């Protein structure tokens, strides 16, 4: 296979901005039992039809979504233009299975794009390689009809080449009709028996097309092509250290995460992360050189439910005071190992190091290897000075080596979810 990636996308802005919003929205918001509900419950096309017939998000105000994302400190959005169910949020010429043919009656994608752009966010499109509605998509092991006794019969006449062409046609619409698109997020490959991969998707052709239409676009790594795409995408999992590429160099990566255990709106799913967990997640990603793409699954009526808004507000409150410990930041050089229960993020341009304290220690913290290197230290939330200990007794008890720096903390932690100390090197 030839190397098709050629010049990759423009990742400069991406590794600076660090924080984006994922949006999973489609017909599955109506059953509200996970976006894989068709697969999980083996729902047939005719039964699923009712959602298409009644889809009517009457409270859809994408400006509100965009404002919530922007307030939370998110700098880009990745929208599910089509998920595995096959339903399209835009007015595609190549299918009738689209928002314009539901009671919603309009191109919902365009309204989202306009709203998020107006808030200054960059735009990414998620596009599902799977399609459980398309008549040429071969029924495979993830398809809701896979266990049907007459599966083989259902598969006769299905033409995977036509499906691959359908994807190229749709991707062309998406990448020519909505202005500059910064990310295309293909999902996903599962090669092997009764699975699908690069030969089914005709991934090389698809990627060529994408690069031709939007040369700077970032492409994720789920097309099953050799190499990794522009971005590695661990999902529902936070790597413990900076993931490496095949040559052993630190990779560009973006973890995608949910507030609860589902991507699409799930009414009864109760494993919601706390505000604090979400913020710690963001810090963990950036402190290991990555981005965080945090998902919201809007309701069928078109709004973010109270649980999601609460987490977004948590981000907003924290980011209001701490965003400079995120934007432009990455992992700190290896020689500065963060103390217990702490993380470092590091801005190599401003040469500021950020100490994120997941647990607030009593009175002092020792920073290995930073002795003599720090000009000034302050709490980031209020810009109040943090000094070295005055009490000589304490200094001797801490047993700091020459190379270490000891800071004296107030006994009471500042009133923020995760306190941060900004160190000027
Ligand atoms: C998985 C799931 C999908 C979700 C995606 C996000 O691949 O299939 O439902 O959209 O993860 O990364």
User: How does residue 399 score in pLDDT terms, banded at 50, 70 and 90?
Assistant: low
pLDDT of residue 392: 65
4 alpha carbon – ligand 1 mean position (Å): 25
3-class secondary-structure state, position 35? coil
pLDDT digits (tens, 9 = 90+) for 12-30: 999 999 999 999 999 999 9
What mean pLDDT do residues 283-302 have? 98
DSSP string, 327-394: TT-BPPPTTSPPPTTEEEEEETTTTEEEEEESS--SSEEEETT-TTT-SEEEETTT--B-B----HHH
| Distance (Å) from CA 187 to ligand 1 centroid | 7
Distance in Å, CA 185 to ligand 1 centroid: 10
Average pLDDT of span 158-174? 98
Task: Report in angstroms the alpha-carbon separations of 160 from 39, 55, 63, 164, 202.
Answer: 20, 29, 39, 6, 10
CA atoms within 13 A on the CB side of 249: 4
Domain boundaries, the chain: 2-325, 342-424
Q: What whole-number distance in Å separates Cα of residue 381 and Cα of residue 39?
A: 46
- Determine whether the shortest distance from the Cβ of 187 to ligand 1 is under 6 A: yes
Give the pLDDT confidence score for residue 396 in this predicted structure: 67
The whole-model pTM stands at 0.96
Domain covering 342-424 in this structure, CATH number: 2.60.40.1180
pLDDT tier at 251, thresholds 50, 70, 90: very high
User: What are the pLDDT digits (tens) for 208-231?
Assistant: 999 999 999 999 999 999 886 899
Assigned token pair, 207? 């990627």
* Domain 2-325: assigned CATH number: 3.20.20.80
The mean pLDDT of 256-285, rounded to a whole number, is 97
**Per-residue pLDDT for 403 more than 60?**
yes
Ligand 1 pocket residue status of 188, Cβ below 6 Å: yes
- pLDDT of residue 98 exceeding 60: yes
| Strand blocks (E) in 24-156 | 76-82, 122-128
Tokens (6 digits) for 52 = 């298409």
**Ligand 1 center to residue 224 CA distance, Å?**
15
Closest alpha carbon to 284 in 229, 245, 329, 219 = 329
Nearest atom in ligand 1 to the alpha carbon of residue 256 is 12
**Nearest residue by C-alpha to atom 10 in ligand 1:** 263
Which residue has tokens 């981005």? Answer: 291
Whose alpha carbon is nearest atom 5 of ligand 1?
Answer: 187
Residue % of the chain over a pLDDT of 70: 96
Cβ atoms of 156 and 135 within 8 Å: the answer is no
What percent of the chain has a predicted confidence (pLDDT) above 90?
92
Burial environment of residue 246 by CB neighbours within 10 A (0 to 12, 13 to 18, 19 or more) = exposed
Q: Which of residues 393 and 300 earns the better pLDDT score?
A: 300
- Interval 352-396: pLDDT, tens: 999 999 999 999 999 999 999 999 999 999 999 999 887 666 666
Q: Which atom of ligand 1 lies nearest, measured to the CA of 235?
A: 12
The predicted model gives 92-115 an average pLDDT of: 98
Which residue among 187, 221, 233, 293 is best mutated to probe the pocket of ligand 1, counting the most ligand atoms within 8 A of its Cβ?
187
């Amino acid at each position: 296979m030839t190397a098709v990636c050629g010049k990759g996308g423009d990742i400069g802005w991406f590794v600076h901005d660090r924080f984006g919003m994922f949006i999973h929205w489609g017909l599955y918001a109506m059953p509200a039992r996970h976006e894989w509900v068709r697969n999980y419950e083996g729902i047939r096309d005719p039964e699923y039809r009712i959602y298409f017939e009644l889809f009517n998000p009457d409270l859809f105000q994408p400006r509100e979504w965009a404002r919530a994302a922007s307030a939370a400190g998110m700098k880009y959005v990745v929208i599910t233009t089509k998920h595995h169910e096959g339903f399209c949020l835009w007015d595609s010429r190549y299918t009738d299975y689209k928002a314009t043919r539901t009671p919603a009656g309009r191109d919902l994608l365009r309204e989202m794009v306009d709203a998020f752009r107006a808030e200054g966010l960059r735009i990414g499109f998620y596009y599902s390689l799977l399609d459980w509605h398309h008549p040429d998509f071969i029924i495979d092991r993830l398809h809701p009809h896979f266990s049907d006794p007459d599966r083989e019969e259902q598969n006769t006449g299905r033409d995977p080449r036509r499906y691959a062409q359908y994807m190229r046609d749709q991707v062309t619409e998406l990448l020519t009709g909505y202005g500059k698109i910064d990310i295309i997020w293909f999902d996903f490959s599962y090669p092997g028996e009764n699975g699908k991969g690069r030969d089914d998707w005709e991934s090389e052709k698809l990627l060529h097309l994408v690069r031709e239409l939007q040369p700077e676009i970032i492409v994720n790594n789920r097309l099953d092509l050799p190499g990794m795409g522009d971005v590695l995408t661990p999902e529902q999992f936070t790597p413990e250290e900076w993931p490496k590429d095949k040559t052993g160099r630190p990779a560009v990566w973006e973890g995608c995460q949910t507030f609860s255990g589902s991507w699409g709106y799930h009414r009864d799913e109760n494993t919601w992360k706390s505000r604090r967990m979400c913020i710690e997640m963001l810090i963990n990603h950036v402190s290991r050189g990555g981005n965080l793409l945090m998902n919201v699954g809007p309701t069928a009526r078109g709004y973010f439910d109270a649980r999601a808004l609460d987490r977004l507000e948590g981000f907003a409150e924290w980011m209001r005071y701490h965003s400079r410990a995120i934007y432009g930041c990455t992992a700190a050089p290896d020689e500065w190992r963060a103390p217990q229960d702490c993380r470092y993020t590091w801005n190599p341009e401003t040469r500021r190091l950020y100490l994120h304290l997941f647990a607030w220690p009593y009175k002092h913290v020792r920073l290995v290897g930073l002795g003599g290197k720090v000009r000034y230290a302050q709490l980031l939330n209020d810009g109040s000075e943090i000094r070295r200990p005055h009490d000589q007794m304490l200094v001797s008890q801490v047993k700091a080596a020459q190379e270490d720096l000891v800071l004296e903390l107030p006994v009471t932690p500042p009133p923020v979810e995760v306190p941060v100390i900004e160190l000027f090197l």
